[in-house]
Amino acid sequence: MTPFTKELIRVLESIPPGCVITYGQAARMAGNPRAARQVARVLHSMSAKYNLPWHRVVNAKGEIAISDDLLKNEQKRRLEEEGVSFTADGRVDLMKAK
């Protein structure tokens, strides 16, 4: 595992319930601001193994970036259960969700 991946896992594990960050923010916090796509890969491949709160990461627009409808609905449900609200167009207000 690369040092970036180790740090990214630490960053992701530290996102508290009710908070949301973007892929870019996670990458920046882990030390590589240009690695937003790597964040998505780590979440996809390691969430189950490391019990990562994958549902607390959205894209820069505050949108759920998952294309699978079942997983998209699960992410939205989990966030709402943690008190995260969505706008009428389905986005997280990133200023309120921190």
Q: Which of 51, 50, 57, 97 lies closest to 75, judged by CA?
A: 57
Q: Which of 87, 86, 82, 90 is nearest to 19 (CA)?
A: 82
Tens digit of each residue's pLDDT, the chain (98 residues)? 899 999 999 999 999 999 999 999 999 999 999 999 999 999 999 999 999 999 999 999 999 999 999 999 999 999 999 999 999 999 998 876 55
Q: Which domains does the chain have, with CATH numbers?
A: 3-81 (1.10.10.10)
